[in-house]
Amino acid sequence: MVAHNTSFDMYALRDAFDNYGMEYPTFDYFCTLRIARYIVKGCYSYSLDVVLNHLNIEFGVHHKADSDSLGCALLLLKCLEMDGSTLEDLEGKYNFHRGKFAPNTFIAHLAIEKRYGSYDEFIKTLQVNPDTLDEGNYFFGKSVCFTGTCQYGNRKELLKKVAEVGGIPTDSVTAKTDVLVVGQQDYRVVGDSGMSGKQKKALQLLEKGKDIEILSETEFLSRI
């Protein structure tokens, strides 16, 4: 099975099976959102419609089930063609493993990569070309933090974007934070409030008069 953004779709499917007491079916699955990020370069976003338009692939009307299904299939085939690989090749080449459903088993589609103790360690290793610094960019000189799951780039990619334009990427909200970018939150982690600890901290700082801006990931991308 193939889907675009399995980090949402497959967890929702799993929860539906659990909610109705249904046994999990057996199938492997791949995420075209992740695969496209590895292979298709130059996209400002990896939303299904944006990637397909970037590749000049006609697929119909975005957010219609039949069109999106066709688009997802065509995107996977195009990625395999561009990379000259099989699905099995991709797993080894880009260090990820496919997701899997089976009775009493759910395995997420995940990257297998070097793990840093925290994003702080990753930030410390960032090396930026001085030529990319942009004093006119909205985030130049601003301390920027992220929370939640990013849909149009992983956390490391977006932290690097901040550094490349001259912003200050961070992994915690403090009195020095200028911008908090909020991605998709997992209700199983954040609870009924729907807010992460970073969001709560940002709101507390706002109440104290601190000038901190809270942006969606889309708003961030439109300004970067």
Tokens of 1: 């099975």
User: What per-residue confidence (pLDDT) applies to 177?
Assistant: 92
User: What per-residue confidence (pLDDT) applies to 178?
Assistant: 92
Cα separations in angstroms, 157 against 8, 44, 53, 57, 215: 19, 12, 22, 25, 17
Tokens of 50: 């944006």
Burial of residue 51 (number of CB atoms within 10 Å: 0-12, 13-18, 19+): buried
User: What per-residue confidence (pLDDT) applies to 115?
Assistant: 45
Q: Is the pLDDT of residue 210 over 50?
A: yes
Longest CA span, the chain: 56
Give me the mean pLDDT over the 159-181 stretch: 89
Cα separations in angstroms, 224 against 24, 135, 186: 42, 12, 25
How does residue 189 score in pLDDT terms, banded at 50, 70 and 90?
A: low
Instruction: Name the residue among 161, 140, 155, 142 with its Cα closest to residue 213.
Output: 142
d(Cα 193, Cα 155) in Å, to the nearest integer? 23
Q: Is the pLDDT of residue 190 over 60?
A: no
User: What per-residue confidence (pLDDT) applies to 76?
Assistant: 96
Q: Do 142 and 167 contact (CB within 8 A), yes or no?
A: yes
d(Cα 169, Cα 174) in Å, to the nearest integer? 12
Q: Is the pLDDT of residue 188 over 80?
A: no
User: What per-residue confidence (pLDDT) applies to 191?
Assistant: 61
Give the β-pairing of 179-182 and 213-216: parallel
Q: What are the φ/ψ torsions at residue 215 (nearest 5 degrees)?
A: -120, 155
pLDDT tens-digit map of 95-153? 888 889 999 888 888 776 544 445 667 777 777 777 888 888 899 999 999 988 777 77
d(Cα 132, Cα 82) in Å, to the nearest integer? 28
Query: Domain boundaries in the chain?
Result: 2-111, 119-223
pLDDT tens-digit map of 39-67? 998 887 888 999 999 999 999 888 899 99
Q: Mind giving me the DSSP string for 65-77?
A: HHHHHHHHHHHHH
User: What per-residue confidence (pLDDT) applies to 114?
Assistant: 47
Tokens of 14: 């799993």
d(Cα 161, Cα 44) in Å, to the nearest integer? 11
List the CATH code of the domain at 119-223: 3.40.50.10190
User: What per-residue confidence (pLDDT) applies to 116?
Assistant: 43
Measured at the CA of 189, the angle between CA 200 and CA 97, to 5 degrees, comes to 130
Residues forming beta bridges with residue 27, ordered by sequence position = 101
Looking at every residue in the chain, the average pLDDT score rounds to: 85
User: What per-residue confidence (pLDDT) applies to 28?
Assistant: 94
